[in-house]
């Protein structure tokens, strides 16, 4: 995900025409769900013709998905073949003004669906270039014992989420595979090495990418929360490059039980899903149709898609203070979807700190990564009072809450492996701890029972597990 990778190459999704001629992929005429995703699948013959045509046109074919083929080429070659002038774009990675930026090439704002080479026009609707998502974390590196109230992932997170009660009964997530799509994973961090976790790293086939590292540090940090809840889970870290749709496809190819995503697009304040994101919507629906439980972070003040897709588990935030009083996190998002009317985010909550920065949970990160350097020093709650290269992050956000809930899902699947994604979601909702105090970032107030601020409340691993026959 560094700038040289993004600027030298462009990764795109080639949207194939479905076998069912009544459907079109990029028009966004209806919601894509696990129940109707089969209508968007192309014929195998046309997939074969398209792959050959793309290779003949000089593109690298990276991955075949449900309804799109991921390709890559140099910017110059892409512009020539698609007869387009790409636009150089810059975006903040963590969604606030001081965060690091990435530079990439995308489609012109007035031409989101690009033309295709003549040799594949009969098989393809168009080509789209996904833009970069935002990662939803507060990025602050701590020392191991910061002089303010904070949580340790191994000691505190399982206790507050009631997973420690399952650990005493021998339930640790054994036999379950969890994929986390994010910025990577520092495989050599002493925190992870010394605990002997079962982690496999992989990444997009982007030139220069090393899947064993995490230059941004985000993925390394948030993974601690999943492994604290389900320490014996088999975790796959899928490192995202310039194309999150490709990373999600590669994660699905690993045949996981769960895919956790702590990123998204701040776009659900208007009714239309951009065409360049529809291939990802289809991949998510197809993953759920095939029994994979998919989770997305609700955001930290953003109106986030794909969290607003109705079939995913959208994770918001609850906050325990030092006296174990529980309230809604003033840092976490809550909203009614404009893209999917009738859909509210979040469904349930994990642990998230308070505004303005969400400094709350101590997490390991790659030393000298962006999140390790970004807001070192300062004074709590606007800084974490630590050095800039200690390999630790004190933060939270719905980024860290989402893998927590993914870890809980792993514990449930260890007990009953044939639970469907819908059944898991209903169990989490029915057994969540009510949050009846506080307000979300958007100002929604928590109250008894379901509420706009926190959905059904804080996930309770023990009660959820005990409810399964």
Rounded to whole angstroms, the Cα distance separating 375 from 386 reads 9
Q: How far apart (Å, rounded) are the C-alpha atoms in residues 62 and 143?
A: 41
Report the distance separating Cα 278 and Cα 272, nearest Å.
11
pLDDT for res 205: 85
Asked whether 106 and 119 are in contact (CB, 8 A), the reply is no
pLDDT at 359: 86
What was the pLDDT predicted at 9? Answer: 87
Across 78-197, the runs of DSSP E, i.e. the strands, are: 87-92, 101-106, 124-128, 134-135, 177-182
Q: What is the CATH number of domain 135-466?
A: 3.40.50.200
The DSSP bridge pattern shows strands 326-328 and 344-345 to be: unpaired
What is the chain's pLDDT, residue by residue, as a tens digit (469 residues)? 333 344 588 999 999 999 999 999 998 878 999 999 999 999 999 999 999 999 999 999 999 999 999 999 999 999 999 999 999 988 877 766 566 778 888 999 889 999 999 999 999 999 999 988 988 765 444 455 667 888 989 989 999 999 999 999 999 999 999 999 999 999 999 999 999 999 999 998 887 889 999 999 999 999 999 999 999 999 999 999 889 999 999 999 999 999 999 999 999 999 999 999 999 999 999 999 999 999 999 999 999 999 999 999 999 999 999 999 999 999 999 999 999 999 999 999 999 999 988 889 999 999 988 887 765 666 676 666 666 778 888 889 999 999 999 999 999 999 999 999 999 999 999 999 999 999 999 999 999 999 999 999 999 999 999 999 9
Residues of the chain with CATH 3.40.50.200: 135-466
Beta-bridged to residue 295, according to DSSP, are 260, 313
Distance separating alpha carbons of residues 344 and 195, to the nearest angstrom: 38
Q: How far is CA 40 from CA 70, 277, 308, in A?
A: 16, 15, 21
User: Are 362 and 152 in contact, with CB atoms under 8 Å apart?
Assistant: yes
Judging by beta carbons within 10 Å of its beta carbon (0-12, 13-18, 19+), is residue 112 exposed, middle or buried? Answer: middle
User: Which pair of tokens denotes residue 408?
Assistant: 């809980």
Copy the structure tokens of residue 321. Answer: 């203070």
Specify whether the CB–CB gap between 320 and 351 falls below 8 A. yes
The pLDDT value given to residue 382: 64
For Cα atoms 15, 21, 25, give the angle at the middle one, nearest 5 degrees: 30
Q: What is the dihedral of CA 419, 463, 323, 352, to 10 degrees?
A: 10
**pTM listed for this prediction:** 0.93
Bridge partners, residue 344, by sequence:
336
Whole-angstrom distance, CA of residue 24 vs CA of residue 29: 8
Instruction: Count other C-beta atoms under 10 Å from residue 310's C-beta.
Output: 15
Residue 137: its pLDDT value, please? 63
């Amino acid at each position: 995900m560094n700038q040289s990778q993004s600027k030298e190459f462009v990764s795109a999704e080639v949207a194939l025409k479905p076998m069912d001629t009544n459907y079109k992929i990029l028009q966004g005429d209806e919601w894509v769900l696990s129940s109707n995703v089969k209508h968007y699948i192309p014929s195998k013959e046309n997939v074969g013709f398209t792959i050959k045509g793309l290779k003949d046109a000089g593109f690298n074919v990276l991955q075949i998905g449900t309804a799109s083929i991921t390709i890559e080429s140099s910017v110059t070659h892409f512009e020539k073949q698609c007869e387009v002038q790409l636009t150089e774009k810059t975006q903040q990675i963590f969604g606030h003004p001081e965060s690091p930026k990435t530079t990439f090439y995308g489609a012109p704002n007035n031409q989101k669906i690009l033309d295709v080479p003549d040799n594949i026009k009969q098989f393809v609707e168009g080509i789209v270039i996904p833009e970069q998502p935002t990662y939803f974390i507060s990025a602050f590196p701590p020392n191991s014992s910061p002089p303010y109230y904070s949580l340790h992932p191994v000691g505190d997170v399982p206790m507050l989420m009631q997973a420690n009660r399952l650990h005493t009964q021998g339930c640790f997530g054994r036999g379950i595979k969890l994929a986390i799509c994010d910025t990577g994973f520092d495989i050599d961090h002493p925190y992870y090495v010394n605990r002997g976790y079962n982690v496999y790293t992989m990444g997009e086939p982007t030139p220069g990418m090393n899947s064993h590292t995490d230059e941004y540090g985000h993925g390394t940090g948030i993974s601690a929360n999943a492994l604290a809840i389900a320490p014996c889970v088999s975790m796959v870290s899928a490192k995202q490059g310039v194309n999150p749709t490709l990373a999600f496809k590669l994660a699905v190819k690993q045949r996981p039980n769960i895919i956790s995503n702590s990123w998204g697009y701040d776009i659900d304040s208007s009714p239309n899903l951009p065409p360049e994101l529809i291939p990802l919507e289809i991949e998510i629906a197809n993953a759920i149709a095939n029994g994979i439980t998919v989770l997305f972070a609700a955001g930290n003040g953003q109106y986030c898609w794909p969290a607003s897709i109705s079939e995913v588990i959208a994770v918001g935030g609850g906050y325990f203070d030092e006296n174990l009083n529980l309230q809604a996190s003033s840092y976490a998002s809550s909203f009614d979807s404009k893209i999917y009317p009738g859909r509210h985010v979040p469904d349930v909550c994990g642990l998230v700190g308070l505004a303005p920065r969400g400094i709350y949970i101590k997490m390991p990160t790659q030393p000298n990564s962006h999140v390790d350097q970004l807001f070192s020093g300062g004074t709590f709650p606007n800084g974490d009072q630590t050095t800039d290269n200690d390999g630790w992050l004190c933060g939270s956000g719905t980024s860290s809450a989402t893998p927590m809930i993914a870890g809980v899902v792993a514990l449930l699947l260890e007990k009953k492996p044939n639970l469907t994604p819908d059944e898991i979601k209903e169990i989490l909702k029915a057994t969540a701890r009510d949050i009846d105090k506080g307000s979300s970032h958007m100002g929604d107030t928590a109250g008894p029972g379901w509420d706009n601020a926190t959905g059904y409340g804080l996930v309770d691993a023990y009660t959820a597990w005990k409810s399964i026959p």
